[in-house]
Structure 1
Amino acid sequence: MMKNKNLGYAVLGILFALLSVIAFAIPTAKTGTFWIAYVFTIVALAAQIAIWKVAFGKENTLKSKFFGVPIVHIGIVYLVVQIIAFVVFAAIPILPTWSVIVACAIILGVSAVCMISGEAGRNEIERMDAKVLEKVFFIKELQTDVELFADTEKDTEISAALQLLAEKIQFSDPMSAGALAEIEEAITEKVAELKTTSDKMVVIKELNSLLAERNKKCKILK
């Protein structure tokens, strides 16, 4: 990732040098219009660094990088449009200064709004992903606990019953909800009871019943 960033910075440096050489080599009048357009273009180039840091500077995961790509695309479009505007104003330096200010300000403003909207959407997607992970954690943890009991159980009948229970848990609705808090708490307590009870089969039957009740309630809540 760091290597890619360095390559990106190198490309920006080359673009800056190329634009500057072409801009000052072309024999056109260096009016206020030219200088304003030039400054806005340099700002657009420099902004790419900040945009990349915002887009890819959060969690170093593939998903985080993927969510950051649209923001980078907007930044690139912003830079390309600004370069085009610079070429136009550099080629026609007699245009009034207010026209270059308005045009470049609009390009910058629209790009900024699009990037802010994209970042807000990205944050919302990541928040929803975190919420979903939190909701499915109950079933995953429950399944793991029951499987561990099944693996360590010496009684083959009880071990088989625990394995069947783990399978039922695996294929249960993974999503949790506030309305399920009470029954999920009861299930958690019954699983913990497996450590101390002398009659595990009774507890397993109660867990099967509670799990079936939870699944029915999950369907109702959808």
Structure 2
Amino acid sequence: MKKGIKFYLPCWAIALAVFNVITFAVPITVNVNKFKPSFWIGYTFITLMFIAQLACSIMFFKQDSNDKRFLNIPIISLSYTALIVSIIVGAVAMVVSFIPYWVGIILDVLIVAFYAIAIISSKAAAYTIENIDKKVKAQTFFIKSLTVDAESLLLRAKSDETKAIAKKVYEAIRYSDPMSNEALSHVEAQIAIKFNEFSNAVVEDNKPLAETLGNELIILVNDRNKKCKILK
């Protein structure tokens, strides 16, 4: 369990304990509705919402990345709001004697339904955004990975000549369209093979070969960019 929930649990337990102490400490002479059906309906409703809020918080804190937590912030916010609204409505049902118990039940059901739908919708939206984010990361991996390799190769260049062509290749890759596509798999495979050959030439400080392969690599990258535009 993540560290956040360890700090949250004591606060949640204290809040629930305070609610119970206040509920049962108030004498029946003050709350004439105490221990009547509407009282127990309101008490049960608030307690269940405390438990539901705890469940939402545990799911939130168990997220394995900050990005996932960020996407689930609306869910945790809704759970807090639902708890506050439930405490207000439940307290009214517990205290006000002239409200029929069936009115309290209907209000409780409506509140649960409204926030349940809202939380489920927020979770679905977070799931959709997360999948889109994963897809984008997968589609941009080739260029981003190649950019890192090109930058590393630039630092390994020994002479000014090889460093100059390595810089041209790095800039061509760095400023190319990051989005990939299945239709680009053939040209990207060519780029990967050509980059390996170019990398060996730069490391070996083979200036003529590095310049030739570097120019060919830049042409392939430009061809890929043109195809990217066509696919959009």
TM over 0.5: yes
CA drift at 1:73: 0.8
Bigger mean CA offset, 9-18 vs 82-91 = 9-18
The alignment status of 1:184 with 2:182, answered yes or no, reads no
Structure 1 residue aligned with 2:128, among 102, 124, 127? 124
- The answer to whether the aligner puts 1:173 opposite 2:183 as a matched pair is no
Aligned pairs, number: 221
Match in the other structure for 2:18: 18
For each residue in 1:159-216, what CA deviation from the matched residue of structure 2 results, as whole angstroms up to 9, or x when unmatched? 3112111111111111112222221111111112235667332221211111111112
Q: Comparing 136-145 with 152-161, which one deviates more in the overlay?
A: 152-161
Identity %: 33
CA–CA separation in structure 1 for the residues paired with 2:19 and 2:8 = 16
Q: Distance in 1 between matches of 2:157 and 2:18?
A: 73
Q: Aligned partners of 2:169, 2:45: CA distance in 1, in Å?
A: 65
Q: State the partner residue of 2:102.
A: 98
Which deviates more from structure 2 when the two are superposed, residues 10-19 or residues 73-82? 10-19
Instruction: Name the SS of the counterpart of 1:194 in structure 2.
Output: helix
1:52 to 51, 57, 68: 57
Residue of structure 2 equivalent to 1:148? 152
Aligned-partner Cα distance in 2 for 1:68–1:219: 35
Match of 2:41 in 1: 36
Residue 87 of structure 1 is matched in structure 2 by: 91
Does the aligned pair in 1 maintain the 2:72–2:126 contact within 8 Å? yes
Q: TM-score, normalised by structure 2?
A: 0.85
Give the alignment's TM-score, normalised by structure 1: 0.88
Instruction: Look up the match of 2:117.
Output: 113
> Distance in 1 between the 2:143 and 2:14 partners?
53
Of residues 51-60 and 76-85 in structure 1, the stretch that sits farther from structure 2 once superposed is: 51-60
* Matches of 2:13 and 2:218, distance apart in 1: 65
Q: Output the amino acid matched with 1:219.
A: K
Does the CA contact (< 8 Å) of 2:38 and 2:104 recur in 1? Answer: yes
SS in structure 2 at match of 1:205: helix
Whole-angstrom CA distance in 1 between matches of 2:168 and 2:223: 17
SS at match of 2:72: helix
| Structure 2 stretches lacking a partner, 5+ long | none
Which residue of structure 2 aligns with residue 217 of structure 1?
A: 227
Provide the C-alpha distance between the structure 2 equivalents of 1:11 and 1:144, rounded to a whole number of angstroms: 45
Is 1:56–1:64's contact at 8 Å kept on the other side of the alignment?
Answer: no
RMSD, aligned CA: 2.3
The code of the aligned residue for 1:67 comes to L
Cα-to-partner distance string for 1:99-125 (whole Å, 9 max, x where unaligned): 222211111121111111111111222
Deviation at 1:155, TM superposition (A): 4.6
Moved more, 156-165 or 1-10: 1-10
